[in-house]
Amino acid sequence: MSKLDPLDLYDITAELDDEERMIREAVARFVDQRALPLIPECFDTGRFPTELIPEIAELGLLGSSLEGYGCAGLNSVSYGLICQELERGDSGLRSFVSVQSSLCMYPIHAFGSEAQREKWLPGMARGEIIGCFGLTEPHGGSDPANMKTHARRDGDDWVLNGAKMWITNGTLAHIAIVWARTDDGIQGFIVETDSSGFEAREIKAKMSLRASATSELFFDNVRVPEANRLPDAKGLKGPLSCLTQARYGITWGPIGSAIACLEEALSYTGERELFQRPLAANQAVQLKLADMARRITLAQLMSLRLGRLKDAGSMHPTQVSLAKWNNVRMALDIARECRDVLGGSGITLEYVPIRHMLNLESVITYEGTETIHQLVVGRELTGINAF
Ligand code: TGC
Ligand code: FAD
Protein backbone atom coordinates (compact mmCIF):
# COMPACT_ATOMS: atom_id res chain seq x y z
CA MET A 1 0.00 0.00 0.00
CA SER A 2 1.27 3.48 -0.78
CA LYS A 3 2.24 5.67 2.15
CA LEU A 4 -0.13 8.44 3.18
CA ASP A 5 0.88 12.08 3.45
CA PRO A 6 0.91 12.67 7.24
CA LEU A 7 -0.27 16.26 6.72
CA ASP A 8 -3.10 15.26 4.34
CA LEU A 9 -4.33 11.88 5.54
CA TYR A 10 -7.59 12.00 3.56
CA ASP A 11 -5.87 13.16 0.36
CA ILE A 12 -7.75 16.47 0.21
CA THR A 13 -5.32 17.34 -2.58
CA ALA A 14 -7.12 14.84 -4.84
CA GLU A 15 -10.34 16.83 -4.36
CA LEU A 16 -8.74 19.99 -5.80
CA ASP A 17 -8.80 20.90 -9.47
CA ASP A 18 -5.61 21.78 -11.36
CA GLU A 19 -5.98 25.53 -10.84
CA GLU A 20 -6.58 25.14 -7.08
CA ARG A 21 -3.52 22.90 -6.77
CA MET A 22 -1.37 25.27 -8.79
CA ILE A 23 -2.39 28.23 -6.61
CA ARG A 24 -1.72 26.33 -3.40
CA GLU A 25 1.74 25.33 -4.65
CA ALA A 26 2.61 28.86 -5.77
CA VAL A 27 1.63 30.36 -2.40
CA ALA A 28 3.41 27.53 -0.54
CA ARG A 29 6.62 28.30 -2.49
CA PHE A 30 6.30 32.01 -1.70
CA VAL A 31 5.78 31.26 1.99
CA ASP A 32 8.70 28.81 2.22
CA GLN A 33 11.20 30.75 0.13
CA ARG A 34 10.33 34.41 0.72
CA ALA A 35 8.23 34.79 3.87
CA LEU A 36 9.48 32.22 6.38
CA PRO A 37 13.10 33.46 6.26
CA LEU A 38 11.80 36.87 7.46
CA ILE A 39 8.98 35.96 9.83
CA PRO A 40 10.83 35.08 13.08
CA GLU A 41 12.69 38.42 12.96
CA CYS A 42 9.44 40.28 12.18
CA PHE A 43 7.67 38.57 15.07
CA ASP A 44 10.62 39.26 17.39
CA THR A 45 10.84 42.94 16.53
CA GLY A 46 7.09 43.45 16.07
CA ARG A 47 6.85 44.53 12.45
CA PHE A 48 4.82 43.53 9.41
CA PRO A 49 7.09 42.60 6.45
CA THR A 50 5.95 45.38 4.09
CA GLU A 51 8.73 44.39 1.67
CA LEU A 52 6.63 41.32 0.75
CA ILE A 53 3.59 43.35 -0.40
CA PRO A 54 4.70 43.67 -4.06
CA GLU A 55 5.22 39.89 -4.34
CA ILE A 56 1.90 39.17 -2.61
CA ALA A 57 0.23 41.43 -5.18
CA GLU A 58 2.22 39.96 -8.07
CA LEU A 59 0.94 36.49 -7.11
CA GLY A 60 -2.63 37.83 -7.45
CA LEU A 61 -3.48 37.29 -3.77
CA LEU A 62 -5.15 40.68 -3.16
CA GLY A 63 -8.89 40.59 -3.91
CA SER A 64 -8.23 37.19 -5.49
CA SER A 65 -11.87 36.10 -5.56
CA LEU A 66 -13.24 39.34 -7.02
CA GLU A 67 -14.08 39.67 -10.71
CA GLY A 68 -12.66 42.49 -12.83
CA TYR A 69 -10.71 45.62 -11.80
CA GLY A 70 -7.36 43.79 -12.01
CA CYS A 71 -8.47 41.02 -9.61
CA ALA A 72 -7.82 37.33 -10.30
CA GLY A 73 -11.45 36.10 -10.13
CA LEU A 74 -10.50 32.82 -8.42
CA ASN A 75 -13.03 30.53 -6.77
CA SER A 76 -13.61 30.35 -3.01
CA VAL A 77 -11.64 27.14 -2.49
CA SER A 78 -8.61 28.83 -4.07
CA TYR A 79 -9.05 31.80 -1.72
CA GLY A 80 -9.22 29.35 1.19
CA LEU A 81 -6.04 27.60 0.08
CA ILE A 82 -4.30 30.98 -0.18
CA CYS A 83 -5.31 31.71 3.44
CA GLN A 84 -4.17 28.25 4.56
CA GLU A 85 -0.73 28.55 2.99
CA LEU A 86 -0.18 32.14 4.18
CA GLU A 87 -1.14 31.22 7.73
CA ARG A 88 1.15 28.18 7.59
CA GLY A 89 3.76 30.95 7.42
CA ASP A 90 2.24 33.34 9.95
CA SER A 91 -1.24 34.60 10.89
CA GLY A 92 0.04 38.14 10.22
CA LEU A 93 0.46 37.37 6.52
CA ARG A 94 -3.04 35.91 6.26
CA SER A 95 -4.48 38.81 8.26
CA PHE A 96 -2.96 41.31 5.86
CA VAL A 97 -4.53 39.54 2.87
CA SER A 98 -7.89 38.93 4.64
CA VAL A 99 -8.25 42.58 5.54
CA GLN A 100 -7.20 43.92 2.15
CA SER A 101 -9.31 41.39 0.21
CA SER A 102 -12.40 40.52 2.25
CA LEU A 103 -12.80 43.57 4.45
CA CYS A 104 -11.72 46.41 2.14
CA MET A 105 -11.85 45.37 -1.53
CA TYR A 106 -15.00 43.24 -1.08
CA PRO A 107 -17.18 46.09 0.32
CA ILE A 108 -16.01 48.47 -2.42
CA HIS A 109 -16.81 45.77 -5.00
CA ALA A 110 -20.15 44.76 -3.42
CA PHE A 111 -21.48 48.06 -2.04
CA GLY A 112 -19.50 50.75 -3.91
CA SER A 113 -20.40 52.83 -6.93
CA GLU A 114 -18.83 52.07 -10.32
CA ALA A 115 -16.67 55.18 -9.90
CA GLN A 116 -15.42 53.94 -6.50
CA ARG A 117 -14.64 50.50 -7.90
CA GLU A 118 -12.64 51.97 -10.78
CA LYS A 119 -10.88 54.47 -8.55
CA TRP A 120 -9.70 52.11 -5.81
CA LEU A 121 -9.75 48.42 -6.76
CA PRO A 122 -7.00 48.21 -9.42
CA GLY A 123 -4.48 49.98 -7.15
CA MET A 124 -5.51 47.78 -4.22
CA ALA A 125 -5.04 44.62 -6.33
CA ARG A 126 -1.55 45.89 -7.23
CA GLY A 127 -0.77 46.45 -3.53
CA GLU A 128 -0.19 50.16 -4.12
CA ILE A 129 -3.23 51.20 -2.07
CA ILE A 130 -3.53 49.48 1.31
CA GLY A 131 -6.82 49.38 3.20
CA CYS A 132 -7.94 48.83 6.77
CA PHE A 133 -11.41 48.07 8.17
CA GLY A 134 -12.76 49.98 11.14
CA LEU A 135 -15.68 48.32 12.90
CA THR A 136 -14.54 47.52 16.46
CA GLU A 137 -14.66 50.31 19.03
CA PRO A 138 -12.89 50.62 22.38
CA HIS A 139 -16.02 50.01 24.47
CA GLY A 140 -16.69 46.52 23.03
CA GLY A 141 -16.21 44.80 19.69
CA SER A 142 -18.66 41.91 20.05
CA ASP A 143 -21.66 44.22 19.85
CA PRO A 144 -21.01 46.49 16.86
CA ALA A 145 -24.71 47.49 16.75
CA ASN A 146 -23.84 49.71 19.72
CA MET A 147 -21.21 51.73 17.83
CA LYS A 148 -20.58 55.34 18.87
CA THR A 149 -18.63 56.59 15.84
CA HIS A 150 -21.00 58.78 13.87
CA ALA A 151 -21.18 60.70 10.60
CA ARG A 152 -23.24 63.88 10.10
CA ARG A 153 -24.15 65.16 6.64
CA ASP A 154 -22.84 68.68 5.97
CA GLY A 155 -23.44 69.93 2.41
CA ASP A 156 -21.55 67.67 -0.01
CA ASP A 157 -19.54 66.13 2.83
CA TRP A 158 -19.98 63.96 5.88
CA VAL A 159 -18.29 64.88 9.16
CA LEU A 160 -16.95 61.86 11.03
CA ASN A 161 -16.22 61.69 14.77
CA GLY A 162 -15.26 58.76 16.99
CA ALA A 163 -12.62 56.07 17.44
CA LYS A 164 -11.93 52.50 16.35
CA MET A 165 -9.76 49.95 18.16
CA TRP A 166 -7.61 46.94 17.21
CA ILE A 167 -7.48 47.81 13.51
CA THR A 168 -5.23 45.57 11.39
CA ASN A 169 -3.12 47.50 8.81
CA GLY A 170 -4.23 50.79 10.43
CA THR A 171 -0.84 52.51 10.29
CA LEU A 172 -0.05 51.09 6.83
CA ALA A 173 -3.33 52.06 5.23
CA HIS A 174 -4.01 54.65 2.55
CA ILE A 175 -7.77 54.20 2.99
CA ALA A 176 -9.94 53.02 5.87
CA ILE A 177 -13.36 51.46 5.39
CA VAL A 178 -15.09 53.03 8.39
CA TRP A 179 -18.52 52.02 9.67
CA ALA A 180 -20.40 54.85 11.38
CA ARG A 181 -23.83 55.63 12.72
CA THR A 182 -25.83 58.15 10.66
CA ASP A 183 -29.39 59.51 10.79
CA ASP A 184 -30.12 56.82 8.20
CA GLY A 185 -28.59 53.87 10.14
CA ILE A 186 -25.08 52.41 10.00
CA GLN A 187 -23.22 53.30 6.79
CA GLY A 188 -19.74 52.68 5.36
CA PHE A 189 -17.25 55.36 4.28
CA ILE A 190 -13.98 55.22 2.38
CA VAL A 191 -11.82 57.50 4.51
CA GLU A 192 -8.54 58.62 2.97
CA THR A 193 -6.01 58.41 5.76
CA ASP A 194 -4.30 61.68 4.82
CA SER A 195 -7.57 63.53 5.63
CA SER A 196 -7.29 66.27 8.23
CA GLY A 197 -8.45 65.02 11.67
CA PHE A 198 -7.62 61.35 10.96
CA GLU A 199 -5.01 59.67 13.13
CA ALA A 200 -3.78 56.05 13.30
CA ARG A 201 -1.73 55.06 16.35
CA GLU A 202 0.07 51.73 16.54
CA ILE A 203 -0.84 49.44 19.45
CA LYS A 204 2.47 48.36 20.94
CA ALA A 205 3.52 45.63 23.39
CA LYS A 206 1.29 42.98 21.77
CA MET A 207 2.22 39.40 22.65
CA SER A 208 0.27 38.04 19.67
CA LEU A 209 0.20 38.80 15.93
CA ARG A 210 3.47 40.61 16.33
CA ALA A 211 4.23 40.38 12.59
CA SER A 212 1.11 42.46 11.87
CA ALA A 213 0.33 46.16 12.31
CA THR A 214 -2.55 46.76 14.74
CA SER A 215 -3.78 50.30 15.44
CA GLU A 216 -6.25 52.62 17.03
CA LEU A 217 -8.00 55.05 14.69
CA PHE A 218 -9.24 58.48 15.72
CA PHE A 219 -11.63 60.73 13.78
CA ASP A 220 -11.81 64.35 14.85
CA ASN A 221 -14.24 66.16 12.53
CA VAL A 222 -12.87 64.26 9.50
CA ARG A 223 -14.60 65.53 6.34
CA VAL A 224 -15.47 62.73 3.93
CA PRO A 225 -17.00 63.59 0.55
CA GLU A 226 -20.38 62.07 -0.32
CA ALA A 227 -18.54 60.44 -3.24
CA ASN A 228 -16.71 58.29 -0.65
CA ARG A 229 -19.86 56.90 1.03
CA LEU A 230 -20.60 53.29 0.02
CA PRO A 231 -24.04 53.76 -1.58
CA ASP A 232 -25.31 50.18 -1.29
CA ALA A 233 -24.59 49.36 2.36
CA LYS A 234 -27.26 50.24 4.93
CA GLY A 235 -27.40 48.82 8.45
CA LEU A 236 -25.25 46.25 10.21
CA LYS A 237 -25.78 43.80 7.36
CA GLY A 238 -23.10 45.70 5.38
CA PRO A 239 -20.15 45.11 7.74
CA LEU A 240 -21.46 41.67 8.79
CA SER A 241 -21.47 40.57 5.14
CA CYS A 242 -17.79 41.57 4.90
CA LEU A 243 -17.11 39.56 8.06
CA THR A 244 -18.71 36.49 6.50
CA GLN A 245 -16.20 36.72 3.63
CA ALA A 246 -13.22 37.16 5.96
CA ARG A 247 -14.38 34.53 8.46
CA TYR A 248 -14.71 32.03 5.62
CA GLY A 249 -11.00 32.57 4.83
CA ILE A 250 -10.18 32.27 8.53
CA THR A 251 -11.71 28.80 8.63
CA TRP A 252 -8.88 27.74 6.28
CA GLY A 253 -6.02 29.81 7.71
CA PRO A 254 -5.56 28.02 11.06
CA ILE A 255 -5.41 24.66 9.25
CA GLY A 256 -2.10 26.01 7.92
CA SER A 257 -0.91 26.95 11.43
CA ALA A 258 -1.85 23.49 12.73
CA ILE A 259 -0.09 21.76 9.83
CA ALA A 260 3.08 23.78 10.49
CA CYS A 261 2.99 22.80 14.17
CA LEU A 262 2.34 19.11 13.50
CA GLU A 263 5.12 19.04 10.90
CA GLU A 264 7.53 20.49 13.46
CA ALA A 265 6.39 18.05 16.16
CA LEU A 266 6.79 15.04 13.83
CA SER A 267 10.30 16.08 12.91
CA TYR A 268 11.32 16.91 16.48
CA THR A 269 9.93 13.76 18.12
CA GLY A 270 11.40 11.61 15.34
CA GLU A 271 14.91 12.94 15.99
CA ARG A 272 15.02 13.49 19.73
CA GLU A 273 16.18 10.45 21.72
CA LEU A 274 15.17 10.01 25.34
CA PHE A 275 15.34 6.77 27.36
CA GLN A 276 17.27 5.15 24.46
CA ARG A 277 14.52 5.61 21.90
CA PRO A 278 13.08 8.38 19.74
CA LEU A 279 10.48 10.43 21.53
CA ALA A 280 8.03 9.45 18.76
CA ALA A 281 8.37 5.79 19.80
CA ASN A 282 6.37 6.45 22.99
CA GLN A 283 2.68 5.60 22.93
CA ALA A 284 1.83 8.78 24.86
CA VAL A 285 3.48 10.89 22.15
CA GLN A 286 1.94 8.96 19.25
CA LEU A 287 -1.52 9.34 20.77
CA LYS A 288 -1.03 13.10 20.79
CA LEU A 289 0.28 13.20 17.22
CA ALA A 290 -2.49 10.92 15.94
CA ASP A 291 -5.13 13.03 17.63
CA MET A 292 -3.69 16.17 16.01
CA ALA A 293 -3.89 14.54 12.58
CA ARG A 294 -7.49 13.51 13.28
CA ARG A 295 -8.51 17.06 14.18
CA ILE A 296 -6.66 18.59 11.21
CA THR A 297 -8.37 16.14 8.84
CA LEU A 298 -11.81 17.06 10.18
CA ALA A 299 -11.04 20.77 9.80
CA GLN A 300 -9.80 20.23 6.23
CA LEU A 301 -13.03 18.44 5.32
CA MET A 302 -15.12 21.17 6.92
CA SER A 303 -13.44 24.02 5.07
CA LEU A 304 -13.44 22.21 1.74
CA ARG A 305 -17.18 21.50 2.05
CA LEU A 306 -17.77 25.13 3.07
CA GLY A 307 -15.78 26.35 0.07
CA ARG A 308 -17.79 24.19 -2.32
CA LEU A 309 -21.03 25.50 -0.74
CA LYS A 310 -19.76 29.07 -1.12
CA ASP A 311 -18.90 28.51 -4.77
CA ALA A 312 -22.37 27.03 -5.29
CA GLY A 313 -23.86 30.20 -3.73
CA SER A 314 -25.50 28.35 -0.84
CA MET A 315 -23.16 28.96 2.11
CA HIS A 316 -24.97 30.15 5.27
CA PRO A 317 -23.24 32.49 7.80
CA THR A 318 -23.99 30.02 10.62
CA GLN A 319 -22.00 27.36 8.76
CA VAL A 320 -19.09 29.83 8.69
CA SER A 321 -19.44 30.40 12.45
CA LEU A 322 -19.33 26.65 13.10
CA ALA A 323 -16.15 26.22 11.06
CA LYS A 324 -14.44 29.36 12.40
CA TRP A 325 -15.09 28.15 15.96
CA ASN A 326 -14.03 24.55 15.25
CA ASN A 327 -10.95 25.24 13.16
CA VAL A 328 -9.42 28.02 15.25
CA ARG A 329 -10.00 26.04 18.46
CA MET A 330 -8.45 22.97 16.78
CA ALA A 331 -5.35 24.94 15.73
CA LEU A 332 -4.90 26.73 19.05
CA ASP A 333 -5.10 23.45 21.00
CA ILE A 334 -2.68 21.73 18.60
CA ALA A 335 -0.19 24.63 18.76
CA ARG A 336 -0.21 24.43 22.56
CA GLU A 337 0.23 20.64 22.54
CA CYS A 338 3.10 20.89 20.03
CA ARG A 339 4.73 23.56 22.18
CA ASP A 340 4.63 21.06 25.05
CA VAL A 341 5.94 18.15 22.96
CA LEU A 342 9.01 20.26 22.08
CA GLY A 343 9.84 20.79 25.76
CA GLY A 344 12.05 23.80 26.47
CA SER A 345 12.82 24.22 22.76
CA GLY A 346 9.11 24.89 22.31
CA ILE A 347 9.35 28.26 23.99
CA THR A 348 11.79 29.71 21.44
CA LEU A 349 11.14 31.36 18.06
CA GLU A 350 13.54 28.85 16.51
CA TYR A 351 10.56 26.48 16.34
CA VAL A 352 7.12 27.47 15.07
CA PRO A 353 4.58 26.30 17.70
CA ILE A 354 4.80 29.12 20.23
CA ARG A 355 4.55 31.78 17.51
CA HIS A 356 1.44 30.11 16.05
CA MET A 357 0.04 29.56 19.55
CA LEU A 358 0.40 33.23 20.43
CA ASN A 359 -1.03 34.35 17.07
CA LEU A 360 -4.03 32.06 17.42
CA GLU A 361 -4.96 33.79 20.69
CA SER A 362 -5.86 36.77 18.47
CA VAL A 363 -7.43 34.66 15.74
CA ILE A 364 -9.80 33.08 18.26
CA THR A 365 -10.78 36.60 19.40
CA TYR A 366 -11.06 38.59 16.19
CA GLU A 367 -13.71 38.25 13.51
CA GLY A 368 -16.11 37.23 16.29
CA THR A 369 -14.85 35.59 19.47
CA GLU A 370 -15.27 31.86 19.99
CA THR A 371 -18.20 32.60 22.31
CA ILE A 372 -19.92 34.77 19.70
CA HIS A 373 -19.70 31.98 17.13
CA GLN A 374 -20.95 29.41 19.65
CA LEU A 375 -23.93 31.69 20.35
CA VAL A 376 -24.60 32.09 16.61
CA VAL A 377 -24.81 28.29 16.32
CA GLY A 378 -26.91 28.12 19.50
CA ARG A 379 -29.33 30.68 18.06
CA GLU A 380 -29.63 28.63 14.88
CA LEU A 381 -30.42 25.46 16.85
CA THR A 382 -32.88 26.93 19.32
CA GLY A 383 -34.27 29.97 17.56
CA ILE A 384 -33.45 31.94 20.73
CA ASN A 385 -31.07 34.93 20.58
CA ALA A 386 -28.89 34.56 23.70
CA PHE A 387 -26.41 37.41 23.02
P1 TGC B 1 -28.39 40.59 13.74
O2 TGC B 1 -29.69 41.16 14.19
O3 TGC B 1 -28.12 39.15 13.90
O4 TGC B 1 -28.13 41.00 12.21
C5 TGC B 1 -28.25 42.31 11.72
C6 TGC B 1 -28.40 42.21 10.20
O7 TGC B 1 -27.21 41.63 9.64
C8 TGC B 1 -27.52 40.38 9.00
N9 TGC B 1 -26.44 39.44 9.37
C10 TGC B 1 -25.50 39.03 8.53
N11 TGC B 1 -25.29 39.26 7.24
C12 TGC B 1 -24.22 38.69 6.67
N13 TGC B 1 -23.35 37.92 7.35
C14 TGC B 1 -23.54 37.66 8.66
N15 TGC B 1 -22.65 36.90 9.32
C16 TGC B 1 -24.64 38.22 9.31
N17 TGC B 1 -25.10 38.17 10.59
C18 TGC B 1 -26.21 38.93 10.60
C19 TGC B 1 -28.85 39.95 9.56
O20 TGC B 1 -29.55 39.15 8.63
C21 TGC B 1 -29.53 41.28 9.77
O22 TGC B 1 -29.98 41.76 8.50
P23 TGC B 1 -31.34 42.59 8.38
O24 TGC B 1 -31.53 42.78 6.91
O25 TGC B 1 -32.39 41.76 9.03
O26 TGC B 1 -31.09 43.88 9.11
O27 TGC B 1 -27.29 41.43 14.49
P28 TGC B 1 -26.90 41.42 15.99
O29 TGC B 1 -26.72 42.82 16.44
O30 TGC B 1 -27.81 40.50 16.77
O31 TGC B 1 -25.43 40.79 15.92
C32 TGC B 1 -25.20 39.55 16.12
C33 TGC B 1 -23.67 39.28 16.28
C34 TGC B 1 -23.27 39.24 17.73
C35 TGC B 1 -23.50 37.91 15.66
C36 TGC B 1 -22.79 40.32 15.55
O37 TGC B 1 -22.88 41.56 16.15
C38 TGC B 1 -21.35 39.87 15.50
O39 TGC B 1 -20.98 39.10 14.61
N40 TGC B 1 -20.47 40.34 16.43
C41 TGC B 1 -19.05 40.10 16.37
C42 TGC B 1 -18.37 41.30 15.77
C43 TGC B 1 -17.14 40.93 14.99
O44 TGC B 1 -16.96 39.82 14.53
N45 TGC B 1 -16.29 41.88 14.75
C46 TGC B 1 -15.15 41.69 13.91
C47 TGC B 1 -14.48 42.99 13.58
S48 TGC B 1 -13.40 42.92 12.19
C49 TGC B 1 -12.11 41.99 12.67
O50 TGC B 1 -12.05 41.42 13.69
C51 TGC B 1 -11.02 41.91 11.69
S52 TGC B 1 -9.68 40.96 12.17
C53 TGC B 1 -9.01 40.87 10.64
C54 TGC B 1 -7.76 40.16 10.50
O55 TGC B 1 -6.71 40.71 10.91
O56 TGC B 1 -7.78 39.07 9.90
P1 FAD C 1 -15.48 42.19 23.96
O2 FAD C 1 -16.53 42.32 22.93
O3 FAD C 1 -15.39 43.19 25.04
O4 FAD C 1 -15.62 40.73 24.60
C5 FAD C 1 -14.94 40.38 25.83
C6 FAD C 1 -15.32 38.95 26.20
O7 FAD C 1 -16.73 38.86 26.43
C8 FAD C 1 -15.02 37.92 25.10
O9 FAD C 1 -14.52 36.75 25.70
C10 FAD C 1 -16.37 37.65 24.49
O11 FAD C 1 -16.47 36.36 23.91
C12 FAD C 1 -17.27 37.77 25.70
N13 FAD C 1 -18.66 38.08 25.36
C14 FAD C 1 -19.11 39.12 24.61
N15 FAD C 1 -20.45 39.09 24.52
C16 FAD C 1 -20.86 38.01 25.22
C17 FAD C 1 -22.12 37.43 25.49
N18 FAD C 1 -23.24 37.95 25.03
N19 FAD C 1 -22.16 36.32 26.25
C20 FAD C 1 -21.03 35.77 26.74
N21 FAD C 1 -19.79 36.26 26.52
C22 FAD C 1 -19.72 37.36 25.77
N23 FAD C 1 -11.58 44.83 14.50
C24 FAD C 1 -11.84 45.55 13.38
O25 FAD C 1 -12.89 46.19 13.25
N26 FAD C 1 -10.93 45.60 12.36
C27 FAD C 1 -9.75 44.93 12.40
O28 FAD C 1 -8.95 44.99 11.46
C29 FAD C 1 -9.44 44.17 13.59
N30 FAD C 1 -8.24 43.55 13.71
C31 FAD C 1 -7.90 42.96 14.91
C32 FAD C 1 -6.62 42.48 15.12
C33 FAD C 1 -6.25 41.93 16.35
C34 FAD C 1 -4.85 41.46 16.56
C35 FAD C 1 -7.22 41.83 17.39
C36 FAD C 1 -6.86 41.21 18.71
C37 FAD C 1 -8.49 42.30 17.19
C38 FAD C 1 -8.85 42.89 15.97
N39 FAD C 1 -10.13 43.44 15.78
C40 FAD C 1 -10.41 44.16 14.63
C41 FAD C 1 -11.06 43.50 16.88
C42 FAD C 1 -11.80 42.18 17.15
O43 FAD C 1 -12.78 41.95 16.18
C44 FAD C 1 -12.39 42.29 18.56
O45 FAD C 1 -11.31 42.18 19.46
C46 FAD C 1 -13.43 41.23 18.82
O47 FAD C 1 -14.57 41.41 18.02
C48 FAD C 1 -13.87 41.21 20.29
O49 FAD C 1 -14.16 42.49 20.75
P50 FAD C 1 -13.48 43.02 22.11
O51 FAD C 1 -12.02 42.79 22.02
O52 FAD C 1 -13.95 44.41 22.34
O53 FAD C 1 -14.04 42.06 23.25
Output the residue whose Cα is nearest ligand 2's atom 12. 371
- Our mutation pick for probing the ligand 1 site, out of 132, 236, 244, 318, counting the most ligand atoms within 8 A of Cβ, is 236
Name the residue ranges covered by the structural domains of the chain: 12-125, 131-234, 238-382
Burial class of residue 254, CB neighbours in 10 A (0-12, 13-18, 19+): buried
Task: Read off the pLDDT of residues 78-124 as tens digits, 9 standing for 90 and up.
Answer: 999 999 999 999 999 999 999 999 999 999 999 999 999 999 999 99
Residue 241 has pLDDT above 90, yes or no: yes
Q: Is 367 a catalytic residue?
A: yes
Q: 142 C-alpha vs ligand 1 centroid, how far in Å?
A: 9
Task: Read off the pLDDT of residues 287-334 as tens digits, 9 standing for 90 and up.
Answer: 999 999 999 999 999 999 999 999 999 999 999 999 999 999 999 999
Residue 364 has pLDDT above 90, yes or no: yes
Say if CB 322 and CB 373 are below 8 A apart: yes
Q: 374 C-alpha vs ligand 2 centroid, how far in Å?
A: 14
Q: Which atom of ligand 1 is nearest to the CA of 168?
A: 55
The pLDDT value given to residue 166 = 98
Chosen CATH of 131-234 out of 3.40.605.10, 3.40.50.1980, 2.40.110.10, 3.40.1390.10: 2.40.110.10
Residue 2 has pLDDT above 90, yes or no: no
Cβ(366) – ligand 2 distance below 6 Å: yes
Question: Which superfamily, per CATH, for 12-125?
Answer: Acyl-CoA dehydrogenase/oxidase, N-terminal domain (1.10.540.10)
Cβ(134) – ligand 2 distance below 6 Å: yes
Cβ(237) – ligand 1 distance below 6 Å: yes
Question: How many Cβ atoms from other residues are within 10 Å of residue 32's Cβ?
Answer: 13
Task: Read off the pLDDT of residues 26-54 as tens digits, 9 standing for 90 and up.
Answer: 999 999 999 999 999 999 999 999 999 99
188 forms beta bridges with: 179
Of all residues in the chain, the percent with pLDDT exceeding 70 is: 100
Q: CA of 351: how far to CAs of 192, 261, 291, 348, 355, in Å?
A: 40, 9, 21, 6, 8
Cβ(63) – ligand 2 distance below 6 Å: no
Cα(347)–Cα(88) distance, integer angstroms: 18
The pLDDT value given to residue 1 = 77
The pLDDT value given to residue 377 = 98
Cα(257)–Cα(231) distance, integer angstroms: 38
Question: How many Cβ atoms from other residues are within 10 Å of residue 38's Cβ?
Answer: 17
Chosen CATH of 238-382 out of 3.40.50.720, 1.10.10.10, 1.10.10.60, 1.20.140.10: 1.20.140.10
Cβ(48) – ligand 2 distance below 6 Å: no
Task: Read off the pLDDT of residues 122-175 as tens digits, 9 standing for 90 and up.
Answer: 999 999 999 999 999 999 999 999 999 999 999 999 999 999 999 999 999 999
